[in-house]
Amino acid sequence: MTDDQSVYLDYQASTPLDERVRALVTSISDACVANPHAEDHAAGWRARAVIEEARRQVADSIGADPDEVIFTSGATEADNLGVLGAALGAPKERKRILVSAIEHKAVLECAHGAEPFGYSVEIIPVTSCGVVDLQWLASAVRDDVAVISVMAVNNEIGTIQPVEAVADIGSRAGAFVHTDASQAPAAMGVDVVAWGVDAASFSSHKVYGPKGVGAFYLSASASWRPRPLMFGGGQEAGLRPGTLPTELCAGFGLALSLMSTEEHVRTAQLRDHLLGLLSTTIPRLVATCLDAPRHPGCLHLRFEGVDAKDLMTRLQPKLSASTGSACTSGHMRTSHVLQAIGLSDEQAAEGVRLSLGRFTSTSDIDRAVALLAEAVADARRQA
């Protein structure tokens, strides 16, 4: 999305709100002022009906049943339920948690949050292409594993993980298998039943919906139920108490239902066009993990000899992109994702993520290439 001031290429951090979703959120906000959990009057019933329609839309979009969808404040809360909550709910003899080396901090931190309760955390290595090492995983999984969590699509380098194979390995040992799927709907078709996972996390603002809402998928045939991490009025099957935001849930449901395979194809074409132009315009450019299945809108690059943070500073306010995941930005430490695929600290410091989406145009790409070429040339001249 472009205006006179900026080209937006940070869709994996947050997508713009689709105008169709905005219109629905506004109308529901005006029409449904009642608490959706109020049981004594028609206004509450109407709000509840909106919530249940949104739940159905989310379920249909991910291949689940509506009663397997728990609304949350976002993927971070869902990750906490799927990792920490699931670990605490595990049989007492299961005390190991396995998470991939390239997980979002929302997964890594809540996994380590289980350590004071007697759990150990082990890191599943990835290949230089950023894909989990299934052979390592198969050799590590035994009947003492509580939780395995491997994200469906990486948020920084865009690699798509073999979730079905991970779930198969985990299920054979009776482990609880969770996947952070917040990036998945914008990258590929989602079918949680075909994946075979016990749980999955989703986020509205990664799919052109409003911020502040997400979902936790919990399979009806899950190995066990996670332990709730918050307590209150018992809403959302007792797993996530609190009054649901009617208009946000409605917006999320619509946003997910609007995702399509055609959109994935168009985004991949734009991404490849962007890479082609950059490759012929800017020398000493290195693209990350091109050989792995990846998010159609993700392009992770290194401009050799150019510090990424310095580059982004030079580009402000004309281009929005990222030097890493939004939840890692601001911390002066090497990306754990780039370390996991074997990049040195110096190489990792050169990493830039450009992410495209629904509203990216060819003119956006042309302008981005011109801006990047100028900024990289200036940085190299001054080095």
Backbone angles phi and psi of 152, in degrees to 5: -70, -40
In angstroms, the Cα distances linking 138 to 22, 32, 272 are 45, 50, 35
**Distance between CA 286 and CA 124 in Å, rounded?**
26
270 three-state secondary structure: helix
Nearest to 249 by CA among 279, 210, 223, 283: 210
Going by C-beta distance under 8 Å and a sequence separation of 6 or more, which residues neighbour residue 181?
A: 62, 151, 152, 153, 190, 192, 200, 201, 202, 217
DSSP H or E stretch at residue 179: strand 176-180
Residue 96 pairs in a beta bridge with 120, 145
Nearest to 174 by CA among 221, 218, 129: 221
Catalytic residue among 110, 129, 298, 327: 327
Going by C-beta distance under 8 Å and a sequence separation of 6 or more, which residues neighbour residue 227?
A: 85, 86, 88, 89
**Distance between CA 278 and CA 75 in Å, rounded?**
33
The full DSSP string for 120-155 is EEEEEPB-TTS-B-HHHHHHH--TTEEEEE--SB-S
**Distance between CA 97 and CA 120 in Å, rounded?**
6
210: tokens are 């409003």
Amino acid (1-letter code) at residue 123: I
Contact between residue 64 and residue 217 where contact means Cβ atoms under 8 Å apart: yes
DSSP H or E stretch at residue 302: strand 298-303
Looking at residue 173, the DSSP 8-state letter turns out to be T
Amino acid (1-letter code) at residue 208: Y
Is 32 in the active site? Answer: no
Contact between residue 267 and residue 283 where contact means Cβ atoms under 8 Å apart: no
Active site residues per annotation: 327
